[in-house]
Amino acid sequence: MSTLSGIGASFRDSVAHYRNASGLRKAAILLLSVVAAMLVGSLLILAVGADPLQAYYYMLVRPLTSITSIGEVAMYFTPLLLVGLGVSFTFHAKLSNLGGEGQMLFGALGMTLVGVPPVGNLLGVWSLPVGILLGILMGAFWAAAAGFFRVRFNASEIVVTLMLNYIAEQFISYVVFYPLRSGAEPQSAKIACALPKLWQGSRINCGVLIALALVAVYGVVIRRTRFGYHLRALGGSERAAEYSGVKRQRYYFLAMVISGAFCGLAGAVQISGNTMRLMEGVAGDFGFSGIVVAMLGSLNPVGVVIAALFMALLSAGSVTMQVKTGIPTSFTSVLEALIVLFILLGMAVSAAQSKRKKVSKA
Amino acid sequence: MNGTSLFSSAFLVALFSSGVRQSVPLIYGSVGDTVGERAGVMGISLEGEMLFGAFFSYLFALRTGSLWTGVLMGALAGMLSSLIVAVWSVLFRQDQSIIGIMFNILAMGFTNFLNRVIFGTSNANISITTFQPIAIPRLSKIPFVGDIFFNQDILTYLAVVLAAVVFFVLRRTKLGLQLTAVGENPRAAQASGIQVYRFRILAYMFCGFAAGLAGASLTLGSVGTFTESISAGRGFICLAIVILSRWNPLVAVAASFGFGSIQALQIRLQVQGSALPYQVFVALPYLITVLVLALAGHNIRAPRELGVPFEKESR
């Protein structure tokens, strides 16, 4: 095997170990990681001269106090959940899809293409489902490019997906500067359709329901289908999987494409449920935050939902926090990264402990 | 713009001279990563270490008024931050790609955070006077070549010297052999008395040190200020350069010059204006990185245990 593909072996071991750990132990690791990260975070907050309790109140509690702000949380929750589910597929096969951002951008482009006039007017109400479908396809297409390089050339999907993010960013920039530009600002026209709202006076919309329905789909596919079983076999032990007849390359490619489809959907929902037009940076940080969601949720369907909710609170709340306490929103990135680092630490410690137990038993 | 102006010698000299400047952070980064990868550790975190280096070199150069203090602090910041990655991947034996990505998010968040807190929300940070070009006597008088290669700033010359030293150490010294053994066959290395963990952690630290210099060369060598996410994917481009150069630091210098020139061409074409939209040029280095990975990454021998954590207890 050539460049970089050896990566993931230990991760596989510790994840495999981690999965075998009891639910209680897992929950304890996750909770402790979050607490530890927040404690380190409070040092930063104190350094700025703000009050950590107040800051965390704005991040975690305040967003839930009104239906309007819950709607804002949903604006983050839906894409976080979709990207989190998407990258979970690849993590199962011990692939890393770090291209969520690029795939989201292509999904957003798909929605925009059929949403803006003239196509948008022509299709009427149909532009919404068609746009979502096209978004899914385009996200899958962009991920397929990365999958192709991985499978055909054995090029590291880590670097390729990251590079494809930069390329997608420039492509979308080109699209909103020239062909799809409408008006003085570099952005597309407003799309003609929108995801129906769930509540008056709040931006929460049907996108949340789509995402939650897909959680069930994800759970069933991973746990109850041959495909999911094979994916997990690949992630568990590549060679064993190959002996049992799993076509490794094909599964890598498929995992990548499905992952991209989820991210593409996230992009389409971002346009039709939030921004209503295509512009630069429409995918935000969701590509990377989605990875945090997958890790924090330990690839478990329910876990991913809880993780996405937590991360959505952080993201939505950080804006208020910045205004009220002067702590920059980039604080959330620090917190996110710390959480995952502490989870990894917890996994390592837990693995070492159980190994010691095994040794002492023997 | 017409064909003659694009390929006139004045244009080419300016282009490649700027290409050399653009290649400096890539040289530091890829030389650092070469050492890391020889010892079996991947520099996914290079991008984040560059950000640390870029921010702290700028901060200290601005506050102390000394560019050299800035360079030193940038390199130290890169090195110290790399300890996080080293501890997590070598001692805790967790997946290098996940750690690297999380570290990069941490670095981006943290440098943006500090930038906002220290310099406020205005985008226009105070500019500092960057390192000035030093003409090397005689050599800089050579037509064309002199202006391109021998009229650069000190960080550029240091980058090439560093690459040469690393090349020598890897090829000709016991240290280099031991390092390679750690990346190729850590078990055998350990059996022969080499401290695998220590080597890998030191390799990470050297990688971080070099990435810190790369960051410093961005802020103090060319840009003169810190902007958010200033590294713009250069850390990942370095990974491709290392593969393209087959883990040879001197070839990495040449490959970096290639990528630097593409970057320089991109900037020039943007400024001059062309029939193509500027985004094409901005995307070009990334596109070429993907192609390099696909075409050059095929059928090559990477250090055998690259990216694979080493477990001391196992036989």
Kindly report, residue by residue over B303-312, the tens digit of the pLDDT: 777 777 877 6
Residue-level pLDDT at B313: 56
Q: What's the gap between Cα A75 and its chain centre?
A: 14
Cis peptide, bond prior to residue B133, ω within 30 of zero: no
Beta carbons of A339 and A33 less than 8 angstroms apart: yes
From chain B, pick out residues whose CB is under 8 angstroms from the CB of A3: 243, 297, 300, 302, 306
Best-predicted range by mean pLDDT (A64-68, A232-236, A272-276, B127-131) = A272-276
φ/ψ of residue A48, rounded to 5: -80, -15
φ/ψ of residue B268, rounded to 5: -60, -45
Given an 8 Å threshold on Cβ–Cβ distance, is A155 in contact with B297? Answer: yes
**Angle, in degrees to the nearest 10, between helices B46-64 and B96-119:** 20
Quick check: A142 contacting B, CB < 8 Å? no
Q: Which helix (H) or strand (E) holds B152?
A: strand B151-152
Mean pLDDT of B235-261: 91
Residue-level pLDDT at B185: 83
How far is the alpha carbon of B113 from chain A, nearest alpha carbon, in Å?
5
Quick check: A98 contacting B, CB < 8 Å? yes
Mean pLDDT of B142-158: 84
User: Could you say which residues from 326 to 355 on chain A have a Cβ atom under 8 Å away from some Cβ of chain B?
Assistant: 328, 330-338, 340-341, 344-345, 347-349
How far is the alpha carbon of A283 from chain B, nearest alpha carbon, in Å?
16
The pLDDT of residue B2 is above 70: no
User: Measured between alpha carbons, how far is B52 from B75 in angstroms, rounded to an integer?
Assistant: 9
User: Measured between alpha carbons, how far is A270 from A281 in angstroms, rounded to an integer?
Assistant: 11
Q: Which helix (H) or strand (E) holds B151?
A: strand B151-152
Compute chain A's Rg from CA coordinates.
Answer: 21
* Number of other residues whose CB lies within 10 A of the CB of residue A29: 21
Quick check: B275 contacting A, CB < 8 Å? no
Q: Which helix (H) or strand (E) holds B219?
A: none
User: Measured between alpha carbons, how far is B289 from A94 in angstroms, rounded to an integer?
Assistant: 23
User: Could you say which residues from 83 to 142 on chain B have a Cβ atom under 8 Å away from some Cβ of chain A?
Assistant: 84, 88, 92-99, 101-103, 105-106, 108-110, 112-113, 116-117
| Helix (H), strand (E) counts: chain B | 13, 2
User: Measured between alpha carbons, how far is A114 from B167 in angstroms, rounded to an integer?
Assistant: 55
Closest Cβ opposite residue B112 in set A8, A11, A328: A328
Residue-level pLDDT at B49: 96
* Beta pairing partners, B134: B152
The pLDDT of residue A3 is above 60: no
pLDDT confidence band for B135 (50 / 70 / 90)? confident
Quick one: closest CA in B to A176, which residue? B279
Of A98, A92, A81, the C-alpha closest to A251 is A92
User: Measured between alpha carbons, how far is B185 from B310 in angstroms, rounded to an integer?
Assistant: 10
How far is the alpha carbon of B144 from chain A, nearest alpha carbon, in Å?
34
User: Measured between alpha carbons, how far is A69 from B242 in angstroms, rounded to an integer?
Assistant: 48
pLDDT confidence band for A201 (50 / 70 / 90)? confident
Given an 8 Å threshold on Cβ–Cβ distance, is A331 in contact with B283? Answer: no
Residue-level pLDDT at A15: 52
Q: Which helix (H) or strand (E) holds A251?
A: helix A248-270
pLDDT confidence band for A289 (50 / 70 / 90)? very high
Report the range of poorest mean pLDDT among A235-244, A260-269, B225-234.
Answer: A235-244
Residue-level pLDDT at A20: 58
Name residue, tokens 């949340």.
A208
The pLDDT of residue A10 is above 50: no
Cβ-Cβ contacts under 8 Å for B156 (sequence gap 6 or more): B20, B21, B24, B217, B221
How far is the alpha carbon of B131 from chain A, nearest alpha carbon, in Å?
30
Given an 8 Å threshold on Cβ–Cβ distance, is A96 in contact with B101? Answer: yes
At B258, the amino acid letter reads G
* Beta pairing partners, B151: B135
Quick check: B280 contacting A, CB < 8 Å? yes
Q: Which residue has the higher pLDDT, A135 or A202?
A: A135
From chain B, pick out residues whose CB is under 8 angstroms from the CB of A16: none
Best-predicted range by mean pLDDT (A81-85, A282-286, A318-322) = A81-85
* Number of other residues whose CB lies within 10 A of the CB of residue A359: 9
Beta carbons of A251 and A234 less than 8 angstroms apart: yes
DSSP B313: T
Kindly report, residue by residue over A187-199, the tens digit of the pLDDT: 998 898 888 888 8
User: Measured between alpha carbons, how far is A87 from A258 in angstroms, rounded to an integer?
Assistant: 9
Residue-level pLDDT at A131: 94
Quick check: A36 contacting B, CB < 8 Å? no
Closest Cβ opposite residue B113 in set A155, A328, A338: A328
Q: How far is CA A254 from CA A142, A230, A261, in A?
A: 13, 11, 10
> How confident is the prediction for chain A on average, in pLDDT?
87
User: Measured between alpha carbons, how far is B235 from B229 in angstroms, rounded to an integer?
Assistant: 11
φ/ψ of residue A205, rounded to 5: -140, -175
Q: Which residue has the higher pLDDT, A351 or A300?
A: A300
User: Measured between alpha carbons, how far is B304 from A1 in angstroms, rounded to an integer?
Assistant: 9
Given an 8 Å threshold on Cβ–Cβ distance, is B117 in contact with A48? Answer: yes
The pLDDT of residue B178 is above 80: yes
Site from B98, B301, B310 to mutate, A interface, most A CB atoms within 10 angstroms = B98
Residue-level pLDDT at A214: 96
Mean pLDDT of B50-79: 94
The pLDDT of residue A5 is above 50: no
Quick one: closest CA in B to A352, which residue? B92
Kindly report, residue by residue over A106-156, the tens digit of the pLDDT: 999 999 999 998 888 888 888 999 999 999 999 999 999 999 999 988 888
Given an 8 Å threshold on Cβ–Cβ distance, is A158 in contact with B44? Answer: yes
Given an 8 Å threshold on Cβ–Cβ distance, is B233 in contact with A158? Answer: no
Given an 8 Å threshold on Cβ–Cβ distance, is A166 in contact with B286? Answer: yes
Of A266, A273, A268, the C-alpha closest to A195 is A273
> How confident is the prediction for chain B on average, in pLDDT?
86
The pLDDT of residue A18 is above 70: no
Of A277, A263, A273, the C-alpha closest to A168 is A263
The pLDDT of residue B299 is above 70: no
Of B58, B102, B101, B103, the C-alpha closest to B82 is B103
DSSP A325: H
Report the range of poorest mean pLDDT among A8-12, A140-144, B120-124.
Answer: A8-12
Dihedral of CA A107/A278/A160/B109: which sign? negative
Q: What's the gap between Cα B201 and its chain centre?
A: 19
Given an 8 Å threshold on Cβ–Cβ distance, is B105 in contact with A288? Answer: yes
At A214, the amino acid letter reads L
Residue-level pLDDT at B122: 63
How far is the alpha carbon of B198 from chain A, nearest alpha carbon, in Å?
19
φ/ψ of residue B215, rounded to 5: -65, -45
Residue-level pLDDT at A158: 86
Residue-level pLDDT at B151: 80
Residue-level pLDDT at B61: 92
Mean pLDDT of B102-122: 88
* Number of other residues whose CB lies within 10 A of the CB of residue A177: 15
The pLDDT of residue B104 is above 90: yes
Residue-level pLDDT at B3: 46
pLDDT confidence band for B95 (50 / 70 / 90)? confident
Residue-level pLDDT at A192: 86
How far is the alpha carbon of A127 from chain B, nearest alpha carbon, in Å?
29
Mean pLDDT of B13-41: 91
Mean pLDDT of A311-317: 92
The pLDDT of residue B287 is above 70: yes
